[in-house]
Amino acid sequence: MKIHELHTSPETIHWGFFDSGLSPVLRIDSGDRVIVHSVSGEPADMPPDESKILPEHKEVHKRCTPGPGPHILTGPIWVNGAEQGDTLEVRIIQCRLRQDWGWNLIEPDHGTLPEDFTRRSLIHIPLDRERMVAKLPWGGELKLRPFFGVMGVAPQPSKGRIPSLPPGEHGGNLDNRELGEGAALYLPVWKRGALFSVGDGHAAQGDGEVCLTAIETSLSGKFEFHVRKDLSLDYPRAETPSHYITMGADPDLDLAAKQALRRMINDLVMRSGMTPEDAYRLCSLAAELRVTQLVDGNKGIHLMLSRDLIANRFLYGGLKDPSDHPR
């Protein structure tokens, strides 16, 4: 296993889109780890004190052209051996804050209640990196739980360049707060090399991300990549040391919920030997159906099922045990 490091620069980012035609900025082998540095925020999101802005963030703003989406993504990373039809297993080893501030934005015509909140409102939130709390401007503190909102691979070549905002079968802007340290994300591979990119650092986010944004900030992550020839998926899956997770995304939240539920039922049937009826019942009795986000065009639902309920059966064969995740 090799450990690589990928820094943020105008040469290593793409702004606001995914595209299977992008050239990789790093090539690695299956099993390697990569420390990836990212930045988050467009020029209008920056604080008045320019000394707080990372130098590479300023350089990206200066030299790079914004894309159709707001996310500054580091990558793509080519993983040797990944072919269309495979699955890329991404183990999230670490998520670390790069700065002592974050930002939150309410934008007109966006968010869950655009009819109620019609003016642009941007705030900057101090982050205590030692105590891992945010100091909220209205008083009190919020425990930080960093994760990357955007993790994805190249889309199908036939789709061309797609905006980074809506999540989809390539992953992308999943905004799933469960995908922090200790989790594993499983992404279907649509293009040789997989071409993984990451960004949209969040210091903390509630389920739903209702006002449009979380505490957006710049993060560094350590990831471990595995090409899975034994696993073929139609849509991203995830797991944590405690739960299996399926996801759905659609402009209609009900349809997104049905997608996530059907995927969990299918996985239980295909990989644990349950009947469809029993899998459906188990989800009704014990699964947690949560709203991932309501604000990215395709609204998200994720369904969580405790690993304890499928003792000695491993749906995806990655994190076989809570102690299996190397740090």
Question: For residue range 11-57, what is the model confidence (pLDDT) as tens digits?
Answer: 999 999 999 999 999 999 999 999 999 999 999 999 999 999 999 99
Q: What is the pLDDT of residue 215?
A: 98
**How many other C-beta atoms can be found within 10 angstroms of the C-beta atom of residue 271?**
16
| Buried-exposed string 154-187: b where 16+ CB fall within 10 A, e elsewhere | bbeeeeeebbbbbbbbbbbbbbbbbbbbbbbbbb
Cβ atoms 202, 215 nearer than 8 A = yes
Judge contact between 80 and 196, C-beta under 8 A.
Answer: no
Query: Do the Cβ atoms of 78 and 28 come closer than 8 Å?
Result: yes
CATH 2.60.120.580 maps onto the chain at 3-228
pLDDT tens, residue by residue, 270-308:
999 999 999 999 999 999 999 999 999 999 999 999 999
pLDDT of residue 323 exceeding 80, the answer is: no
Banded pLDDT at 327 (limits 50, 70, 90):
low
124, HSE (Cβ side, Cα atoms, 13 Å): 15
Instruction: Return the percentage of the chain with pLDDT > 90, whole number.
Output: 94
Task: Provide CATH 3.10.28.20 ranges for the chain.
Answer: 243-320
| Averaged pLDDT of the chain | 96
Structure token pair of residue 326 = 């190397």
- Each residue's pLDDT tens digit, 161-217: 999 999 999 999 999 999 999 999 999 999 999 999 999 999 999 999 999 999 999
Half-sphere exposure of 180 (CA within 13 A, CB side): 16
At residue 320 the predicted structure's pLDDT band, cuts being 50, 70 and 90, is: confident
Q: How confident is the model at residue 258 (pLDDT cuts 50, 70, 90)?
A: very high
Residue 313: pLDDT band (50, 70, 90) is confident
Residues 212-244: tens digit of each pLDDT: 999 999 999 999 999 999 999 999 999 999 999
With a cut of 90, say whether residue 72 has pLDDT above it.
Answer: yes
CATH superfamily of the 3-228 domain? Acetamidase/Formamidase-like domains (2.60.120.580)
Farthest CA pair distance, the chain: 59
The highest-level CATH class for domain 243-320 is alpha beta
pLDDT at 324: 59
pLDDT digits over 115-131, tens only?
999 999 999 999 999 99
Establish how many alpha carbons lie within 13 A of residue 79's alpha carbon, considering only the half-sphere containing its beta carbon: 30
